[in-house]
């Protein structure tokens, strides 16, 4: 018995586990079935329908785009990129194809290609908030700071303080790690133009000025901000730090004392105060406060061990000073090396 061409086709579909009823559906029905299956997490069923839709109308870019989206949901990013490439070839004016190809490229860490796609997408849809967030995040990865500047200002102007509180700390961490403080300063000054009275922007700008080593300017900015908020602990800490590096130690010590009276268990403040006492040559007091800092498990123990070693050396306790410097070096404080090389080559055990 000879089978018709249609019968052979349906038989082949059955062999490969494909619902033969799907093969008789219209293009629109196949697309609808594929989308519904995708929404239910039935990705294999979605792909079956969308494969048939693509075969039915290979010139329809939406069929390729939709199948690519399902493949993203399946974490099959390479196949998704192939589908998006075809969709863009068929219809280069559809924004979503670039957006989803950006997602696929990002997930495979092809960041340069992803950056190109999100730029193209925003060129077509410049007011898309999610697109702006996507570009901001990838721009930080690629250190494309002009795009970071543009998107931070746009998103802050559009979304307000809620966005700022979420993303400004992310930027602070990034620029602190990259040491690109001048680029961060440009962004902060732009944000300040959007809202000159936002305290978080002002504090970040002062902190960045401090990180740039511009201590006189930092002090001027702090004093101006303290006029509006004289009890702000972050600003007072920045003032004490700036005074310390300007060698105005007596003024710095006074502020550290004031801060410690309000936060007596702050181990980082104890370490800063202890180093201030070192500069004043109050070695016994420095030893006490740096020991308290170490005991409190502060966030910079290497710094505290270094200072305590210097205090103990000046108190004549060479052995324990060398032990502190060794611990400091092990914890990552490279400047401890010069103290060890100069004073501990013979590993003295006397005067402990």
Is there a contact between 212 and 185 (Cβ–Cβ < 8 Å)? yes
- Res 11: pLDDT: 43
Per residue in 125-155, pLDDT tens? 999 999 999 999 999 999 999 999 999 999 9
Q: pTM of the predicted model, to two decimals?
A: 0.77
d(CA 154, CA 38): 34
d(CA 321, CA 283): 12
Q: pLDDT grade, residue 199 (50/70/90)?
A: confident
Is there a contact between 209 and 185 (Cβ–Cβ < 8 Å)? yes
Per residue in 286-299, pLDDT tens? 999 999 999 998 89
- Summarize the confidence of residues 301-308 as an average pLDDT: 96
DSSP type of residue 347: -
- Name the CATH superfamily housing domain 1-125: Tetratricopeptide repeat domain (1.25.40.10)
Is there a contact between 286 and 308 (Cβ–Cβ < 8 Å)? yes
**107: region left, alpha or beta (phi > 0 left; psi from -120 to 50 alpha):** alpha
CATH number listed for the domain at residues 265-352: 1.25.40.10
Q: pLDDT grade, residue 22 (50/70/90)?
A: low
Residue 71: C-alpha distances to residues 131, 187, 224 (Å): 20, 37, 55
Q: Which residues contact 13 (CB under 8 A, 6 or more apart)?
A: 19, 20, 23
């Amino acid at each position: 018995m000879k089978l018709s061409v249609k019968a052979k086709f349906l038989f082949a579909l059955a062999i490969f586990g494909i619902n033969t009823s799907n093969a008789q559906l219209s293009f629109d029905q196949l697309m609808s079935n594929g989308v519904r299956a995708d929404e239910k997490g039935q990705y294999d069923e979605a792909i079956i329908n969308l494969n048939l839709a693509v075969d039915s109308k290979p010139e329809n870019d939406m069929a390729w785009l939709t199948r690519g989206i399902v493949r993203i949901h399946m974490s099959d990013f390479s196949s998704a990129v192939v589908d998006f490439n075809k969709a863009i070839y068929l219809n280069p004016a559809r924004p979503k194809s670039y957006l989803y190809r950006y997602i696929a490229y990002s997930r495979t860490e092809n960041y340069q290609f992803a950056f190109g796609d999100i730029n193209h997408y925003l060129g077509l849809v410049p007011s898309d908030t999610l697109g702006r967030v996507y570009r901001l995040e990838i721009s930080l990865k690629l250190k494309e700071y002009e795009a970071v500047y543009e998107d931070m200002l746009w998103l802050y102007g559009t979304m307000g303080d809620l966005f700022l509180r979420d993303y400004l700390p992310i930027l602070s961490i990034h620029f602190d790690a990259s040491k690109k403080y001048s680029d961060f300063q440009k962004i902060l000054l732009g944000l300040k133009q959007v809202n000159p009275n936002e305290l978080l922007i002002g504090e970040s700008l002062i902190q960045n000025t401090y990180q740039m080593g511009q201590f006189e300017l930092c002090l001027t900015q702090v004093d101006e901000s303290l006029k509006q908020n004289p009890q702000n602990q972050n600003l007072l800490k920045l003032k004490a730090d700036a005074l310390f590096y300007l060698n105005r130690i007596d003024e710095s010590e006074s502020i550290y004392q004031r801060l410690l009276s309000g936060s007596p268990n702050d181990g980082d403040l104890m370490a800063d105060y202890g180093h201030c006492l070192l500069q004043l040559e109050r070695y016994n007091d420095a030893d006490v406060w740096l020991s308290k800092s170490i005991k409190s498990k502060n966030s910079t123990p290497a710094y505290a061990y270094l200072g305590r070693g210097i205090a103990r050396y000046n108190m004549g306790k060479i052995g324990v000073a060398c032990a502190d410097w060794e611990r400091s070096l092990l914890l990552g404080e490279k400047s401890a090396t010069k103290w060890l090389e100069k004073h501990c080559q013979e590993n003295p055990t006397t005067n402990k």
